[in-house]
Amino acid sequence: ALKTNIGGTLNLVKLSHQYGVKRFVLVSTDKAVNPSSVMGASKRICEYIIHAYALLYPKTTLYTAVRFGNVLGSRGSVIPTFNRQIDDGGPVTVTHPDMTRYFMSIAEAANLVIHAACMTKNNEIFLLQMGETVKILDIAERMIRLRGLRPYIDIPIEFTGMRPGEKMHEELRHEQEAPSETAHP
């Protein structure tokens, strides 16, 4: 996470400045808000890198970040894991019965990243309106039912407990950040 996120971002930011790239968009995460894991901390540092370059070199590249929650169907999404577990007859593993996350589709995420690139004036973090949080347990139960099966009867659900650095509920912004509306709905 450190090498890829921080090193990769720093290299790309330097190259963007060197070659006069017009716009640079960092895809950040809600895990960067009050980070409790290496992944979240590394993304928060990436946001600081973008901020620093936006302040140091305001006339070359427009630097911005987009911060949002989980993308359904992406590599780290819970959906493929649940599908595999259901295909195998269970159990479906859920961290905690009350754990929630924000979700969006790949198409929504890609669209919003492109809009952020078009809208940036430099040095912004776009906080996307993610809607309501969703319980991970609700997703697991719905996926089981969509297969015509019964949760806890046909397919067991096991609670594995939270891992170190994992949050019960993600946040989209820091307390000191004062979001403002944009022209984009």
Active site residues: 31
CA 3 to chain centre: 18
Q: How far apart are CA 76 and CA 39, in angstroms?
A: 12
Find tokens 């929630």 and name the residue.
Answer: 100
Contact present, 172 and 127 (Cβ < 8 Å): yes
Sign of CA dihedral 35, 39, 42, 44: negative
Q: How far apart are CA 85 and CA 139, in angstroms?
A: 13
Longest dimension (CA), the chain: 62
Task: Specify the 3-state DSSP secondary structure of 94.
Answer: strand
